[in-house]
Structure 1
Amino acid sequence: MIHIVPKPTDTPEDNSTGAVIQELEKVGARYHVLDLDTVDPLNSGLEHELIWVCGIRQDMHRFEILNVLSLSNRVINTPAAIATCASKVMTTALLLQRGVRTPATVYVSSEDQAREFLRRHGKVVYKPVYGYDGNGIRLVIEPGDLGPGPWYLQEYVPNDRDFRVFVLGGEAVGAITRVSRGLMHNIHQGGIGMPVEIDDEMRAIAEASAAVIGVDYCGVDLLCDREGYTVLEVNGTPNWHCMATPIPKLLASYLIECERTMRS
């Protein structure tokens, strides 16, 4: 049995959970939709089961439930991996530690340090540490644009597009480029996504990023500068809009194989 935690942002027109469920149904895989709001993790009755987390609100209650469930079940993605991806600070720290290219970044509560980083780079990008879908991201050009701290700031990399690479089971399986006229290229912020081929450099940096985080599957967001690709962030509950690759089918197959391995 595959237990499924649905993505809370699903809609009838954009239903990631439903797309994977359809693929499970096509091959007769058994599944159960799990409502975390009804689960007491200390008495859940779930043991040695596979739990797939399609999405989760950034909510301590749900993270605690998943953390406890992961003690005696296989959770994909793990709560630790989801939490790491949710924190831009932790993601950046791991990428830097393992030598994966990412824009110059600081996380500081000192306004003097924030101003100095801005002075050094001329333009920087402010991002909420736990933001999603591009919400709250803004360009900072003058010290007066900084706003209240603490500040997670990245150097501004000139661009008119970014790339998302979908990595599943350690392998880059699909990619899109997202184009817009603004700072953010997220689909939810008006970006237009188009499938692209995965080149060797894109594959290498995306797969390395997934390995650094220790995640079963993810969306790795990249920019391209003069030196090549650089990692903006890693998404632990990613969307796969506009990808030509049949991600729901691949995900369903991956979950089935993981559950089969658990039973063998």
Structure 2
Amino acid sequence: MLTIIPKPTDIPSDNSTRMVMDELDRMGYPYQVRFLEAIDPFSDDLSGATIWACGIRQNGHNFESLQALSLKNRIINSPESIVTCASKVMTSALLVQHGVPTPATFFTESRTLAGKFIQKHTKAVSKPVYGFDGVGIHLVESEAELGDPPFYLQEYVPNDRDFRVFVIGDKAVGAIMRVSDHLTHNIHQGGCGSAIEIPQEMADIAVRAAQVVGVDYAGVDLLSCNGSYVVLEVNGTPNWHCMQAPIPRLLAEYLVSQDQKK
């Protein structure tokens, strides 16, 4: 039976887990709901199950519990891939290693070296290593504007919008353009999203990015750059705000297909 771990941040007006469960109900496919806080991976009888973690808290308990459960179960997305997506450093390293276009990136504890990177690119975007919803991202134009180390920096790519592509399996199934009057265009930071058709090049880059970080499904964030696209990050527990594509139904169908492979 499919086991579902609800997203901790779900609220009645924005309940991602419920949307997918409604689709499973329409399909007549059985599932059970469990909460990580109430699961002891050493004594629980979950074994050989397909477990969908719609979202988890970024803490040691949730990560470690999923990791232990993955020894005897198929987790979607895998704990390893969720951890990878949570780390901007590891995500960027994988993108670079596999040749996926991404802005020039620098990671250091040295304020002097960080300052030289900023000087080289005139300005840079400083981001927290473990961040979400666009929090803590700001533009820096000199070493003096840096906060505390470590410093995760990317070259500034001029833009007035970004794109989120929703990938399931090996297919880009939906995309939105997010526009705002500030540096980050995240919906949680006041950006406005609208659905768009997915250009083939954008779809190919987004699918490749999801594959190299090892996720079953993802929200891939991109910028337009020099006539093509660069990947900013890959979200392993994505929302699908403003998507016109039927993401909950597509996700439900994917979960069923994976569960039936066992």
TM-score, length-scaled by structure 2: 0.99
Secondary structure (helix, strand or coil) at the match of 2:223 reads strand
| Equivalences for residues 129-168 of structure 1 within 5 A | 129-168=129-168
Confirm whether residue 49 of structure 1 aligns to residue 13 of structure 2.
Answer: no
Q: Is the 8 A contact 2:122 2:141 kept in 1?
A: yes
Shift of 1:29: 1.2
Shift of 1:52: 0.1
What does residue 181 of structure 1 align with?
A: 181
Shift of 1:167: 0.5
| Equivalences for residues 85-234 of structure 1 within 5 A | 85-234=85-234
Following TM superposition, the consecutive aligned residue runs of length 4 or more in structure 1 with deviations greater than 2 angstroms are none
Secondary structure (helix, strand or coil) at the match of 1:102 reads coil
What does residue 22 of structure 1 align with?
A: 22
Structure 1 runs not aligned, ≥5 long: none
1:161-211 CA distance string (max 9 Å, x none): 000000001111100000000001000000000001111110110011011
Distance 2:133 2:9 in 1: 11
Distance 1:40 1:77 in 2: 20
Distance 2:200 2:125 in 1: 28
Shift of 1:142: 2.5
Secondary structure (helix, strand or coil) at the match of 2:42 reads helix
Secondary structure (helix, strand or coil) at the match of 2:260 reads helix
Amino acid of the structure 1 residue aligned with 2:139: L
Amino acid of the structure 2 residue aligned with 1:222: L
Shift of 1:251: 0.3
What does residue 8 of structure 1 align with?
A: 8
Distance 2:22 2:129 in 1: 34
What does residue 261 of structure 1 align with?
A: 261
State, as a whole percentage, how many aligned pairs show the same letter: 58
Amino acid of the structure 1 residue aligned with 2:194: M
Distance 1:107 1:23 in 2: 42
What does residue 73 of structure 1 align with?
A: 73
Shift of 1:227: 4.2
Distance 2:23 2:142 in 1: 50
Q: Is the 8 A contact 2:111 2:143 kept in 1?
A: no
Structure 2 runs not aligned, ≥5 long: none
Please tell me the root mean square deviation across aligned C-alpha atoms, in Å.
0.7
Q: Report how many aligned residue pairs link the two structures.
A: 262
What does residue 31 of structure 1 align with?
A: 31
Secondary structure (helix, strand or coil) at the match of 1:261 reads coil
Distance 1:216 1:18 in 2: 19
Amino acid of the structure 1 residue aligned with 2:36: L
Distance 1:141 1:16 in 2: 38
Amino acid of the structure 2 residue aligned with 1:189: Q
Distance 1:210 1:197 in 2: 19
1:104-158 CA distance string (max 9 Å, x none): 0101001111000010111111111110000111111222210111100011111
Distance 2:186 2:147 in 1: 23
Distance 1:53 1:170 in 2: 19
